[in-house]
Amino acid sequence: MSRIKTHVKTGDQVIVIAGNEKTKTGKILQVIPDKQQVIIEGVRMIKKHTRKSQDRPDGGIIELEGPIHISNVKKIDAPTTKKAAKKATKKATKKATKKATKKAAKKAVKPTEEVTSDTETTENS
């Protein structure tokens, strides 16, 4: 039996992008790959009537999260940690300085070419 690949896993923060529960966010509690469904914390709350048992001596009505099709959820980027944010800013500044250096080098080359072309034209005249 082959394993079905999904774009989300248990513990991911997701947002519902379609259906009655649209725009609600939550953490994935369970992924059911065979049915291509996920159960999200606090989304699609259903009421289940339970019988008296040893686990629930009173029985009654309990609220549970219901499954949502996996195509109706989108993964939200987790908030970055300080270390990750620091690394990202360091990388961005390094890239910006490299780009600025490249631009400065191009500007430095262009005026010298213009000066040489000006001197050549004056000499030829």
Tens digits of residue pLDDT in 92-103: 787 778 777 777
Token digits of residue 68: 């949502």
**Closest CA relative to residue 26, chosen from 80, 81, 73:** 73
In this prediction, residue 38 carries a pLDDT of: 97
In this prediction, residue 20 carries a pLDDT of: 94
> What Å distances lie between residue 122 and 96, 111, 118, 125, CA to CA?
40, 17, 6, 5
Which one has a higher pLDDT value, 1 or 7?
A: 7
Q: How many CA atoms lie within 13 A of 121 on its CB side?
A: 6
pLDDT at 7 over 80: yes
Q: Model pTM?
A: 0.59
Q: Give 80-91 pLDDT, tens digit per residue.
A: 566 666 777 777
Contacts of 78 (CB under 8 A, 6+ apart): 12, 13
Of 30-34, 56-60, 67-71, 75-79, least confident by mean pLDDT is: 75-79
